[in-house]
Structure 1
Amino acid sequence: MIVCKFGGTSVADAAAISRVVEIITNKQSEQPVVIVSALGGATNLLLDIANKAAGGELLSALQLIEQLRDRHQREAQALLGGSTEAEELSLDISATFDELAHLAEAFRTLGYLTPRSLDAVAAIGELLSSQIVAAAFRHQGHPAVFVDARDVMRTNDFFTKAEPDTDEIRQLAQARLVPLVQQGKIPVMGGFVGATASRVTTTLGRGGSDYSASLIGAAIDATGIEIWTDVDGMLTADPRVIPAAQLIERISFDEAAELAAFGAKVLHPATIAPAVQRGIPVYVYNSRNPGGKGTMIAFDAPRLPVRAIAGKRATTMVKLRSSRMLLAPGFLRRVFEVFETHRTSVDVVTTSEVSVSVTLDDATNLASILQDLAAFGDVSVSPRAGLIAIVGAGISDGSLAIAQAIAALGPIPIHMASLSATGINFTLVIDDDQVIPAMQRLHATFFESAS
């Protein structure tokens, strides 16, 4: 069995969904389970609808609902024509958007949104796209079955960022997905979406469809997990920033995880973990170029000083200076308990005898964090920082690659520098507006000058 996940651009419209059907048709002997994102851009519109309604803009919200309704109906019609299934699916789509309109009215009345209500709205995209894709398979004569992700993807109730219950997911997947595959059918389910034990809808957070694919792959003991997107695989840099970015044909799990966590857009940062635990290779392919080589992510890969470069903008840097930190046992533990209390993850950490600096990807609770940190010493914050990650299994084998990286930045100021404990990620914290120039300089040094 394999898991094939298709992102939003790969199911954006009827033409894209038809390509998905063709790709999977050629893989039926591998017993695929198909996981899909919402139609490209649908999730953003759904969240916009909820926010507009809660903000009192009900008319605008209702207009967006009609736009999304028309889009889903149009793509379903293009795929299914005038078939009986098309009529049934059309009714289901309309009922879903009617319900969304009622929710919008309730949000307008309440004047605010809860994380639970946001998940209920955000999940609509994947729940509809998976039904449309399953119907498209059946219309072309393939035995596809829509599986509601909420019947398989069990999570806790941390709404908008729910954490999966892997043991329960494994039991549910073995009970609901594996028998379908064994019967020669193609299960189709939405990514990103889950549910609590009481079947309250949750989501895994933005980009969580990749995570869903990896979790399901681990749960059914898949031989491979395929991520189908709109690029040819993992590249040496973001091609939108570096047009000369090159395809990486093979990369290690550790390197791929570092790149994903530090801004690479191809994979969700959490995607790799379940696959690593089960030793399942992950492949990244382009749904617009299914004959391409793609990228294989596995335990081992040729050892290079620099495999790729990633950048992350809109990062917050927090610095704490305290003379009480000097030789004080437990000081750092108490400091990091502040971030735990406010459910905020830390990205990069550097310390000295009397100071500690960290970067935060999510500054939602920054004010409360700063208030609590002030009890330890002097706190300063830089809200417009950026990260550059230079990733390669051999970067710490000697000092040459690190020296070249620092030299390549030239006049660009460096605020923090950190070499990961694994020795494969050299991270630099710089000004936000210097991220792109820094990536261009680094890519030219490590890849273009040698090509």
Structure 2
Amino acid sequence: MKVLKFGGTSLGNAARMQDVARIIESEKDCIVVCSAMAGVTDCLVELSGTWKADDIKKAEIIKKQLFSHFEATCFGLMQGAAAFESSHSIIFDQFHKIDRMLSGSWSEGKEKCLLAQGEIITTLIFDHYLNHSGIAFKWLNAFDFMQKNAEAEPVVADISNKLSNLPAYTGSGRYLTQGYICLDHNGHPDNLARGGGDYSATLIGAAVNATVIEIWTDIDGLHNSDPRVVSNTSPVRELSFGEAAELAYFGAKILHPSCVWPASAQSIPINLRNTMEPLSAGTLIRKGPSNAGIRAVAAKDGISVIRIRSARMLNAYGFLKRIFEIFENFRTPIDVITTSEVAVSLTIDKTLHLEAICNALHELGDVEAETGQSIVCVVGDVLAEHQGYAVKIMDALRHLQVKMVSFGGSRNNLTLVVPMGQKAEALNCLQKALFTNEPHACQQAFNN
């Protein structure tokens, strides 16, 4: 069994859906996982906001725009009046459900029901087109098998059991389902957060012990830096699970941060492919080391740096535990941490409780918080053991305000923190220093 996941851009209009159909028509035993069409979830979020604000007029405008978008997709896909009418009735039925939802009062639970309609309508339209075109697939509702436990985490074994008990699923054949959506532990509609379609795909892949999980996007695999910021990036053809996990967590947009571990736990390779260039090799993520050396650089914005200074920390045990307990109480994860004899610096990307966290930390020492920072993560196998890489990285950035450096916690990354305003320059300097022999202009200016 093979799992193929297609994102919203890959399914963004009728022509894109036809491209995806050509990719999957020759597959035999597979599960195709689909996101909502590009822009649809954003519209549903906006619609939910107008519903919450009781802005009926604006809600009607957004709803009509969404309906027209789906209608135009059906018109572009279906040849013949009968085929169009049958697909049109699918949209009409789902929007009737949306109307019934909006007629009641807003709640967070109802909002999740509304947001799920993007994936459901997209897959219903695509499934209708596939079967109308003679490409037979069975439609599966992710609500029937994708569920979180009491700790709000999906469990692979539970997904596997629920899939096995579905009458429509036999363990072979071709299936179409939704990413992102799931049930909570009480059986109410929930989701895996924005971008969670990749996570759905790897969870399903692990549940069915897939031979490979293919994640199809609109870019040729994972690049060695952010192509939106850095020119002349190139795709990385192979990564280890560890390298991919580091890059995903620290900002590589092509991959959801949670999606690596389900595949890694069962050594199922992940192949990142390009819908626009289906013959391209993409990026293969697999068990074991990839080629030695630096593989890629990723960056994550919106970071806050917190520094705690205390003379009580000197030769004391249990001090870090007290710091970690404060973050645990506020359910705020720490990204990067460095320590000295009397100080601790750490970063977080969730600022909801920043002020309260700092107030609690004041009991331990002097506290300073600095927002508007970026984490820059350099990833490569045996990075910590290879002579010269750390010097090369720091030398490339010596003219910038490097606020923190973390090195050695993982054998395949070196992490730095710089102001967000210097992130683009940092990425471009590292691209020149690590992946070409040409010195960056900023380094030349510094040398002069």
TM-score normalized with structure 1 length: 0.92
Query: 1:393-404, aligned counterparts within 5 Å?
Result: 393-404=381-392
Count of matched residue pairs = 439
Q: CA deviation at 1:82?
A: 4.2
Report the residue type matching 1:8 in the other structure: G
Q: 1:166 aligns with which of 156, 168, 190?
A: 156
- State the partner residue of 1:385: 373
Query: 1:204-353, aligned counterparts within 5 Å?
Result: 204-353=192-341
Q: Helix, strand or coil for the counterpart of 2:9?
A: helix
Q: Helix, strand or coil for the counterpart of 2:203?
A: helix
- The reply on whether 1:60 has 2:58 as its aligned counterpart is yes
- State the partner residue of 1:365: 353
Determine if contact 1:32/1:181 at 8 Å carries over to the other structure.
Answer: no
Q: CA deviation at 1:374?
A: 2.3
Q: In 2, distance between residues paired with 1:179 and 1:45?
A: 32
Determine if contact 1:312/1:435 at 8 Å carries over to the other structure.
Answer: no
Q: CA deviation at 1:394?
A: 2.5
Determine if contact 2:224/2:297 at 8 Å carries over to the other structure.
Answer: yes
Q: Helix, strand or coil for the counterpart of 1:187?
A: strand
- The reply on whether 1:414 has 2:402 as its aligned counterpart is yes
- State the partner residue of 2:444: none
- The reply on whether 1:424 has 2:422 as its aligned counterpart is no
- The reply on whether 1:71 has 2:69 as its aligned counterpart is yes
Q: CA deviation at 1:284?
A: 0.5
Q: 1:144 aligns with which of 124, 130, 137?
A: 137
Determine if contact 1:54/1:104 at 8 Å carries over to the other structure.
Answer: no
Q: CA deviation at 1:337?
A: 1.6
Which range moves more in the overlay, 208-217 or 55-64? Answer: 55-64
Q: CA deviation at 1:336?
A: 1.1
Q: In 2, distance between residues paired with 1:294 and 1:85?
A: 36
Q: In 2, distance between residues paired with 1:120 and 1:370?
A: 36
Q: Helix, strand or coil for the counterpart of 1:320?
A: strand
Distance 1:172 1:431, change over 3 A: same
Q: In 2, distance between residues paired with 1:373 and 1:134?
A: 54
Determine if contact 1:177/1:187 at 8 Å carries over to the other structure.
Answer: no
Q: CA deviation at 1:18?
A: 0.7
Q: Helix, strand or coil for the counterpart of 1:306?
A: strand
- The reply on whether 1:176 has 2:169 as its aligned counterpart is no
Q: CA deviation at 1:359?
A: 1.1
Q: CA deviation at 1:288?
A: 0.7
- 1:402-447 CA-partner distances (Å, limit 9, x unpaired): 1111110131111100025221110000101111110000001111
Which range moves more in the overlay, 294-303 or 19-28? Answer: 294-303
Determine if contact 1:155/1:196 at 8 Å carries over to the other structure.
Answer: yes
Determine if contact 1:157/1:202 at 8 Å carries over to the other structure.
Answer: no
Determine if contact 2:182/2:189 at 8 Å carries over to the other structure.
Answer: yes
Q: In 1, distance between residues paired with 2:167 and 2:180?
A: 17
Q: CA deviation at 1:350?
A: 1.0
Report the residue type matching 1:20 in the other structure: V
Determine if contact 1:388/1:427 at 8 Å carries over to the other structure.
Answer: yes
Report the residue type matching 1:217 in the other structure: G
- State the partner residue of 1:155: 148
- 1:14-36 CA-partner distances (Å, limit 9, x unpaired): 111111111001223xx111000
Q: In 1, distance between residues paired with 2:389 and 2:62?
A: 50
Which range moves more in the overlay, 265-274 or 324-333? Answer: 324-333
Determine if contact 2:376/2:415 at 8 Å carries over to the other structure.
Answer: yes
Q: Helix, strand or coil for the counterpart of 1:3?
A: strand
Q: In 2, distance between residues paired with 1:371 and 1:98?
A: 49
- Root-mean-square deviation over aligned CA pairs: 2.1
Determine if contact 1:62/1:104 at 8 Å carries over to the other structure.
Answer: no
Distance 1:335 1:197, change over 3 A: closer
- 1:12-59 CA-partner distances (Å, limit 9, x unpaired): 01111111111001223xx11100001012111211221233234332
Determine if contact 2:164/2:171 at 8 Å carries over to the other structure.
Answer: no
- State the partner residue of 2:94: 96
Report the residue type matching 2:64 in the other structure: E
Structure 2 residues without counterparts, runs of 5 or longer: 440-448
Distance 1:213 1:395, change over 3 A: same
Q: Helix, strand or coil for the counterpart of 2:209?
A: coil
Q: CA deviation at 1:255?
A: 0.5
Q: Helix, strand or coil for the counterpart of 1:154?
A: coil
Q: 1:447 aligns with which of 435, 443, 446?
A: 435
Structure 1 residues without counterparts, runs of 5 or longer: none
Q: In 2, distance between residues paired with 1:106 and 1:197?
A: 24
TM-score normalized with structure 2 length: 0.93
Determine if contact 2:156/2:204 at 8 Å carries over to the other structure.
Answer: no
